[in-house]
Structure 1
Amino acid sequence: MAVVRVRQHVNPLSERYQAPVAMPDWSEAFANPQQPLHIDIGCGKGVFALHMAQLQPEWNFLGLEIRKPVVESAQKRQQEAGLSNLHFMYCNVNISLRALLESWGDQNPLQQVSIQFPDPWFKKRHQKRRVLQPELVATLAEFLPPGGRVVVQSDVEEVAVDMCDRLSEHPHFLPQGDRWLPASPFPAQTDRERVTLEQGLPVYRAIFTRS
């Protein structure tokens, strides 16, 4: 059997990732589509979202990921687990997130967003490829209700600072507490978070609340 190699990083600005995605029927995606919604942007293999869905059945979890083979693996895990409060989608959030949220109509249940360990894109000329761009921040501010949260985590301080700066630039996002949280606000971990902590390395975390 041929082994399909999944690229660790993909350029979200390349032409192949500019097509908008088809909107799902949310009543088919979730057993109860009006439960509070948590969107995990860049969900990877979906381990975090799957565990969260198991631990918090009163929430719906939507994992969004730009690498299609990774999404297909996550979808298989969701089906095997039989979770009706979890859904995964292949999409470029900087192209499709607004349309996804608009597709809920007036019943938009979004309450929380997580962006965890995103691709760092260290080179200056590549930083426009980072996921949290001003347009995405504006979309989150528009669709999150007052009190809604954006949680960011990274094992790269420069990337964490950049995400915090992007959110702080928007007048409707206010940081909670100290600069870096001492522990995760979630009862589940991503693969990257678990490995980083096992190595004794720091994770930079922050929460921003929609005012």
Structure 2
Amino acid sequence: MARVRVRQHVNPLSNRYQQLISIPDWSQIYSNLSLPFHLDLGCARGRFLLQMAQQNPDRNYLGVEIREGLVTEANEIKEEYHLSNLYYVFGNINHSLTNLLASLPPYSLELVTIQFPDPWFKKKHQKRRVVQSEIVEILAQFLSPKGQVFLQSDIKEVAEEMLDRFLENSQFKPLKPEIWLTENPLEVMTEREIATINKGESIYRSILTINIRKD
């Protein structure tokens, strides 16, 4: 399959990305909805989740990406692998994350990954960054009592800001005393992570867990 060419950056605040995510009938997508979910926010071409889904058939995987062409390509590829524990949706999670998570089985969300998000370096553009306080509040509402959030970026400022946004919310705390991890605890690395390591550059990673157990 030819690699889809898409814009590297899109403005999540533009009118084009303010519609709600189109949610399918999950029972027609996943063969077992009782399995825990791993949500990857900003999944790009979806290769990370493609590998994770193959290696872990006991978990459902859901990727969200704002560039529609990448989502179409990713779903076509996952069909070639005949995976019934993986799906990708097109949409802007800053606009419709609640709608998406409310459609999943209650407290089935056990892991959220946010990896190498667009840094939006200019001060006036930083409101476009994916991790905002509203997103953190929504994830705290829907994560299972043993849910975790894995963050990583090759931009220290972005990693620190993501971490601060989560720690500002009383429902999250670092999984371990050492906030920054030296190695990726997951068995699969993203394409960006591999490229960054090959260049000898630093990666800033952290895992957070739910601090307050839900009733």
Report the TM-score, using the length of structure 1 for normalisation: 0.95
What's 1:14 paired with? 14
Shift of 1:63: 0.5
Name the aligned partner's letter for residue 99 of structure 2. Answer: A
* Equivalent runs, 1:146-157 vs 2, <5 Å: 146-157=145-156
Judged with a 3 Å threshold, the aligned counterparts in structure 2 of structure 1 residues 183 and 4 are, in CA distance, closer, same or farther, namely closer
User: Does structure 1 residue 122 correspond to structure 2 residue 115?
Assistant: no
Shift of 1:33: 1.3
Report Cα offsets for 1:10-64 as digits up to 9, x if no partner: 1100010000022211111111011000000000000100100011110000000
Shift of 1:4: 6.6
What's 1:95 paired with? 95
State how far apart, in whole Å, the 2-side matches of 1:116 and 1:5 are: 21
* Structure 2: runs of 5 or more not aligned: none
Shift of 1:200: 1.3
RMSD: 1.3
* Equivalent runs, 1:73-84 vs 2, <5 Å: 73-84=73-84
Shift of 1:108: 3.9
State how far apart, in whole Å, the 1-side matches of 2:166 and 2:107 are: 21
Report Cα offsets for 1:50-93 as digits up to 9, x if no partner: 10001111000000000000111111111111111000000101
Would you identify which runs of 4 or more consecutive aligned residues in structure 1 move more than 2 Å?
none
Identity %: 50
Instruction: Give the secondary-structure state (helix, strand or coil) at the position aligned to 1:186.
Output: coil
Length, aligned pairs only: 208
What's 1:35 paired with? 35
What's 1:48 paired with? 48
Instruction: Give the secondary-structure state (helix, strand or coil) at the position aligned to 1:87.
Output: strand
What's 2:184 paired with? 184
Shift of 1:194: 0.7
User: Does structure 1 residue 141 correspond to structure 2 residue 144?
Assistant: no
Instruction: Give the secondary-structure state (helix, strand or coil) at the position aligned to 1:19.
Output: coil
Report the TM-score, using the length of structure 2 for normalisation: 0.94
* Structure 1: runs of 5 or more not aligned: none
- Judge conservation of contact 1:151–1:207 (CA < 8 Å) in 2: yes
